[in-house]
């Protein structure tokens, strides 16, 4: 399996362990993603006891959610060319009050492993409500089929797993170039964030985009450590206290960041699982999600030279 496939299969194994999918469904998804049947069976056997699925007690609607019809925000689906010439679709959101005078900050938002779904679109609108021009590239659209066109999660995951990890980051390099050229965006105020799978993409992006000023990857796996010295952005690493698999990557990443002189901070939010920020997820933690959201906005404000954010 390639690195993308390995990550996606490990996430599905966690879903099986935590009681959200059956053993049969795990094996189906794992093999569609790219694991050999024998590998999927062996991985399933490592789960001694399947935990009872724990669903978030809070209503799964974030208080900072921004509906699609909010008059303060404008949205559109756009297309842009990546570094290799491939055409990608992306969801774009910006303040209705934005003047086309290159004064707004820009932010690239990277999807989880379920694509640019309603939640990721909502996150883009949340940033737009804060004054950003936000772009959320639909990475799988480079295969010719957008997220919304898939009806089976495993089929979507197979398409996503066919993508190259390095090119995913380059697709975001190109999305920053799109923002830089947008008439409402100040090209010197570019940020990026991503969640789960997207957190790993943003860590890689930070090592490849010289024009990126601030980044906040949420529970993302570390980039190749040899590339860490190329990081120019100030990076806020957001992690979940109960996310042992991803948190294990911090051990080697921090010394590499320190040795390279990268401006960074690691926040580990207690009593929180992987994907705790997603208010459509059964593990949504409203308390820590709101804290991480404000921490991200404050981090971006600090390193983009913006006013303090508001809720």
Residues assigned a catalytic role: 196, 243, 274
- What is the C-alpha to C-alpha distance for residues 263 and 250, in angstroms, rounded to an integer? 15
Positive or negative torsion for Cα 1, 87, 92, 178? positive
- Here the tokens at position 70 are 């909010």
Return all residues near 189 (Cβ < 8 A) that are at least 6 apart. 104, 105, 106, 213, 304, 305, 306
Q: How far apart are CA 299 and CA 309, in angstroms?
A: 10
């Amino acid at each position: 399996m390639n690195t993308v496939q390995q990550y996606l299969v490990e996430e599905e194994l966690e879903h099986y362990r935590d009681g959200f999918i059956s053993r049969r469904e795990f094996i189906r998804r794992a093999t569609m993603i790219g694991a050999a049947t024998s590998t999927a069976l062996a991985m399933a056997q490592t789960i001694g006891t399947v935990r009872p699925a724990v669903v978030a007690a809070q209503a799964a609607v974030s208080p900072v959610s921004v509906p699609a019809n909010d008059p303060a925000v404008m949205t559109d689906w756009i297309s842009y060319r990546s570094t290799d010439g491939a055409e990608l679709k992306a969801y774009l959101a910006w303040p209705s009050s934005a003047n086309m005078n290159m004064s707004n900050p820009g932010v690239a938002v990277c999807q989880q492993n379920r694509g640019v779904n309603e939640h990721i679109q909502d996150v883009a609108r949340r940033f737009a409500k804060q004054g950003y021009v936000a772009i959320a590239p639909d990475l799988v659209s480079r295969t010719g089929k957008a997220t919304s066109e898939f009806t089976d999660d495993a089929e979507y995951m197979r398409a996503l797993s066919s993508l190259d990890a390095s090119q995913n980051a380059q697709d975001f390099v190109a999305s920053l170039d799109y923002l830089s050229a947008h008439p409402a965006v100040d090209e010197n105020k570019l940020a990026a964030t991503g969640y789960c799978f997207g957190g790993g993409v943003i860590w890689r992006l930070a090592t490849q985009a010289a024009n990126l000023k601030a980044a906040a990857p949420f529970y993302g796996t570390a980039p190749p450590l040899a590339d860490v010295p190329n990081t120019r952005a100030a990076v806020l690493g957001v992690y979940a206290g109960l996310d042992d698999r991803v948190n294990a990557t911090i051990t080697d990443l921090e010394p590499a960041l320190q040795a390279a002189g990268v401006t960074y901070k690691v926040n580990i939010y207690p009593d929180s699982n992987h994907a705790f920020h997603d208010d459509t997820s059964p593990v949504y933690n409203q308390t820590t999600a709101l804290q991480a959201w404000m921490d991200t906005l404050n981090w971006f404000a600090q390193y983009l030279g913006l006013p303090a954010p508001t809720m």
